[in-house]
Structure 1
């Protein structure tokens, strides 16, 4: 029997290549829907960056999405996704592009984040000048310390911006990516403590202004915790492909690998060393050498060195390998790995049957 990842017509696929297993993507979508109903899901598309994958989620009933770039937002507009949150506070140049998206893709409701009064007023001015209004979410910093305003300052931000005409504050955005405990109980306790800050903020705004704000919370690591809450939109993203880093760090989550990279042996160096065509340009290289890729059909290899086009591996017996042999690898971090490829090879029933363009890897599509 073939392993699930093996491709019957692998000789038709050049390497290195990004491989997407369509049936397993579908299984991951069904798994996420078993954990949270579609109306309370807002998947982040930064992982997949492919219109076809997003259409699969839409076909499953998911109508709300989150993204990180204008190109990702435009990709969603192109497929008429109903509701798109740009999970980023746009500066003036990006806000002008977002306004252009609003006008170019009227079937999609676009929104964005704010965490700064002066910048919110700039966004307001841009949208007001175009005689349009966009929803915004206050980005609340609950410990990630990357973006967002601390909860203690968020009330004043709401008060300062609530009457602006070009933007309308509709919710709070709470990203807790700093919480990555493998222990389920520890992860839940930390997630609950961080989220409570947003709850208290929302309650204060509700009692002061009689306005109930939506809350968009979490990513893949904390998704199982937020999925138990009422009326909270959850934003997992990696779930659709999964990767080796999350699989080992969060074994409690039910998702399976659905995207791999393939590479080939290009040189047998000596009795314990081989070289494959999986360089920095082909798999995310932000982690240490030993945490970039895990090979499903060569688990005992050890990386010795990597350059732009090559990955040198130590093996127990190089005589077991020959030039042209295929290695199937699970990236430790799939999101930036996807962005390295212009297109993905699509596999169904263990055969390469199609290619999908990774359209949102570009910084610009048309806008």
Structure 2
């Protein structure tokens, strides 16, 4: 294995919350050379500096030149909606120079997507189409796609198996369904060339235990856990947390989501990327001429309600959260809990880290970085 060259993997959205932790998982193996593409719409280049620092710190004392190279990131500031910028990145390495792509970059706020749907379709769907076109141009035909549990809409069965029909409610969710369909279509059109896995995320949380990298959204956080962390640190000054609805058919009436540690999620990407290798058994049962495309749920298989999350963060932070119940939010569904058994069986995926660990690691990140990557308090 040590004689094999590093496989170049392009990570879109590499400086983001998910992207930086995926890069950490890839670098940890010392088998991949990461090429990051990010336009820093919702991220900072500092995340890439930090994750490379973690990789260097984790190198053995007798690290080879190849090991040292794996700890450095080729970082490009480029916009996926501008094909010329992305083509330049691929051209840097030539045809066949990039082994595979992990496509994470996207706009991702359900509520915002209902207000500016065209922006979401242009960014999420348009960019994915041009990325695939450029990949094909440069003989790069392996892709791990970051999808979402929102593709299921309001699912008929909980926990949700991958066989559930895809029927998203929000423009954001619909962009994810469209991108999955597009990727499956290219795999159907060129079954002997393309291989793709779509990872349907549930709710990633936490941070790397070092506190060097974590979730640092621009502006007010749209997701519950980073919002609670910023309330506790004093960055968000609201006296009351707004809880959207308590009349859902769930144990306490608030929405239920399947939270998993971001490092468990990142490990899922590594397993998916490895499953695109020529010797992988993931597509072993697929007949010649059939598409090499599969979707997998990445979750714990255990749901937590909004109020349970608030209580877990109260324990982690010591902060006395106050909340008020307001009306339901458009696009929200009552319960999104994964059935992750297919990913466990075929990829070897597990998500062992607990909600307590997620909250502890999130709070460690937030206390060490009160203003995120932009400096101390």
Answer whether TM exceeds 0.5 for this pair. no
Q: Which has the higher helix share?
A: 2
Higher relative contact order structure (alpha carbons within 8 Å, sequence separation ≥ 6)? 1
User: TM-score, normalization: structure 1?
Assistant: 0.34
TM-score under structure 2 normalisation? 0.33
Which of the pair has more CA radius of gyration? 1
Higher strand share: 1
